[in-house]
Structure 1
Amino acid sequence: MTNLALFDLDHTLLPIDSDYEWGEFLVRVGAVDETAFRGRNDAFFAQYQAGVLDPVEYLEFALGTLARFPRAELDALYARYMREVIEPAIRPRALALVREHQEAGDLVAIITATNYHITAPIAARFGVEHHIGAMPEYDGAGQLTGRLLGTPTSGPGKITHMHAWLERLGRPFDSFERSHFYSDSHNDLPLLSIVTHPVATNPSAVLATHAREQGWPTLHLFND
């Protein structure tokens, strides 16, 4: 593997935000109090879009919500969420883009700020073995505690976690001839700025402007 291909998830490979939509799903099925939960969920989502989100504060909210449910109930809810929300959102062009890098022999990973419990099944659906997300803490019985392990996988944290993952594989970042990163968000500018081939994918207005200024290619996966 001489090349590295990294993908953000929400609004990059998926046309939705999987974390936000998980919250909306919990409201819809009556698993959480609508007024209290939606108010906080919407506020955090607006902060993310504005680039001012405190990732630790948000992850403690999200993981605390997950920890309310016994593990068997949570797994059943998530299986339903995958069927009803994620599967209909998956687009052939996104699957094909990932597969193109895999067939080229690239080392492929999804790296997302969303927590690992939510996104691991989505990465598996895309056929991606390597997946980096914010890591929840589990107790000895496999129940989520509601706490975050380590640092968030957002902004500069994506670089930190990427380097740690590659070191575990014995493949440091500078050993790759080409490195690609596909992202929609200006929050990912730190990682986009260090790869050899950044691609603004379904970009936000801020990222689209930055990409034009830097001469980066722009890709739209959800126009069909």
Structure 2
Amino acid sequence: MINLALFDLDHTLIPIDSDYEWGQFLCRIGAVDADEFSRRNADFYAQYQQGTLDPVEYLEFALGTLAAFDQAQLNAWHAQFMQEVIQPALRTSAFDLLKKHQDHGDEIVIITATNRFVTAPIAQALGVKHLLAAEPEVDGNGNITGKLIGVPSSGAGKITHLQHWLQNQGRQLDDFERSYFYSDSQNDIPLLSLVSHPVATNPNALLLAHAQEKAWPVLYLFENND
């Protein structure tokens, strides 16, 4: 039997929020109205930190922004985003943690509330094959329509996405000897409570308090800012 190692992305494997930073990037390059977009982006980010975010409302906002541009333009911008924002945020400590599981032969999955367009190249840069993320609908030309496919991949929705992925693999969670989930946020307590080995990783205050109450291990990946 092998192990399953699940990882949140933002503030867990990278010390930034990729969704928020993508929005800030669009503002900097002049792709969106900076004042209005920054205001809404900041409001949504504050709601996320407080655990009050409506994921559907946010995803409709984020995917609606993507739908304003064709895929070729988005891909060009994302390549620039990777170079300017994501690559400088990649940390040796995160690669070392992933490598520990890879060397053990574990099945590794990133499961994130951020949409696949933003996160797929980041997962690839981290060397992780399997990504579970919010799925944007695309039209016949490959352009994002602004609609969400299925349920958001946040909170309890991460369990739904994981179960669907396991079913497609012909597996169940119990098929793994151990199941790990690394996350920084109290929003992920549903999935953290489901796996056999939850790890509060760079936890915010609410998750840290919960982890201490449950005697979950706490891991800080970015203290040395390597």
Aligned to 2:150: 150
Q: 1:31-85 deviations in whole A, cap 9, x for unaligned?
A: 1111111111011001101101000000000000111112111110000000000
Kindly indicate whether residue 9 of structure 2 is the aligned counterpart of residue 5 of structure 1: no
1:178 maps to a residue whose letter is R
Aligned to 1:96: 96
Aligned to 1:115: 115
Kindly indicate whether residue 213 of structure 2 is the aligned counterpart of residue 216 of structure 1: no
How many residues are aligned here? 224
- What pairs up with 1:36-75 in 2 under 5 angstroms? 36-75=36-75
1:203 maps to a residue whose letter is P
2:15 maps to a residue whose letter is P
- Distance in 2 of aligned mates of 1:206 and 1:57: 23
- What pairs up with 1:122-133 in 2 under 5 angstroms? 122-133=122-133
1:89 maps to a residue whose letter is A
Aligned to 1:166: 166
Q: CA deviation at 1:19?
A: 0.1
- Distance in 1 of aligned mates of 2:32 and 2:164: 36
1:176 maps to a residue whose letter is F
Which deviates more from structure 2 when the two are superposed, residues 178-187 or residues 33-42? 33-42
Q: 1:2-45 deviations in whole A, cap 9, x for unaligned?
A: 21000000000010000000000111111111111111101100
Q: 1:82-113 deviations in whole A, cap 9, x for unaligned?
A: 00000000000001101110110001000000
1:101 maps to a residue whose letter is H
Q: Taking structure 1 as the reference length, what is the TM-score of the superposition?
A: 0.99
* Percent of aligned pairs with the same amino acid: 62
2:138 maps to a residue whose letter is Y
SS in structure 2 at match of 1:193:
helix
Q: Taking structure 2 as the reference length, what is the TM-score of the superposition?
A: 0.98
- What pairs up with 1:78-97 in 2 under 5 angstroms? 78-97=78-97
- Distance in 2 of aligned mates of 1:133 and 1:87: 20
1:71 maps to a residue whose letter is Q
Divergent runs of 4+, >6 A = none
Q: 1:155-200 deviations in whole A, cap 9, x for unaligned?
A: 0010011011011111211111100000000000000001110000
SS in structure 1 at match of 2:179:
strand
- Distance in 1 of aligned mates of 2:125 and 2:62: 22
2:139 maps to a residue whose letter is D
Kindly indicate whether residue 216 of structure 2 is the aligned counterpart of residue 203 of structure 1: no
- Distance in 2 of aligned mates of 1:46 and 1:188: 16
